[in-house]
Structure 1
Amino acid sequence: MIVRILGEGQWEVGDAAVSDLNDLDAEVERAVAADDQEELTAALSRLLGEVRSAGTALSDDDLRDSDLILPGADATVVDVRALLNPTGEGLIPG
């Protein structure tokens, strides 16, 4: 899976890491539902950190399409709410 973090770049993340990412995504969803910016910032930091540590950074000239686009760590509750999947799956489907 190719994951883009807005404003940073892309990482290739193996399927084995998706379960951990989904757990962290649930934290992001809870923070947005509670309209809690402080918790959202912390949850996004954990989610993006896991993408960076579990994934392999792709070079800027690697032009593969992203399978998933995540907001940057400075995203607001309003920003993330607009990105959430309308089916209730959060930022990360599955």
Structure 2
Amino acid sequence: MIVRIMGEGQVQIADGDLDTLNALDSEVEKAIEVGDEAIFRTKLHALLDKVRHVGKALPDDSLEPSELILPPADASIEEVREMLGDSGLIPG
């Protein structure tokens, strides 16, 4: 799966890493639901850090279509809430 982190670039994520990313995504959603900015920020950074860690960075000039777009690390709760789908930021 090709994932774009807004403002950073694209990484390729192995299917085997999706369960871990979905668990972190659920934590981001919970923080948004209760409106806790501090927990939201911590959980969003944990999700993005994990994507960076498990993902293989694609070259900047790569023209691969992104299957998933994640918010930047400085996104607000409202911005991320608007990006949430029925199954969070990461489907599955």
Alignment map for 1:1-94 (pairs within 5 Å):
1-85=1-85, 87=86, 89-94=87-92
CA drift of 1:43 comes to: 0.5
CA drift of 1:37 comes to: 1.3
CA offsets 1:62-93 (integer angstroms, 9 cap, x no match): 110101000011111100100000x2x10011
User: Residue type of the partner of 1:7?
Assistant: G
Provide the C-alpha distance between the structure 1 equivalents of 2:72 and 2:36, rounded to a whole number of angstroms: 17
Moved >4 Å (runs of 4+): none
State the secondary structure of the residue aligned to 1:50. helix
CA drift of 1:45 comes to: 0.7
Percentage of pairs with the same residue: 50
Aligned residues: 92
User: Residue type of the partner of 1:76?
Assistant: S
TM-score of the superposed pair, with normalisation by structure 2: 0.97
For structure 1, the 5+ residue unaligned runs are none
For structure 2, the 5+ residue unaligned runs are none
CA drift of 1:36 comes to: 1.2
Aligned Cα root-mean-square deviation (Å): 0.6
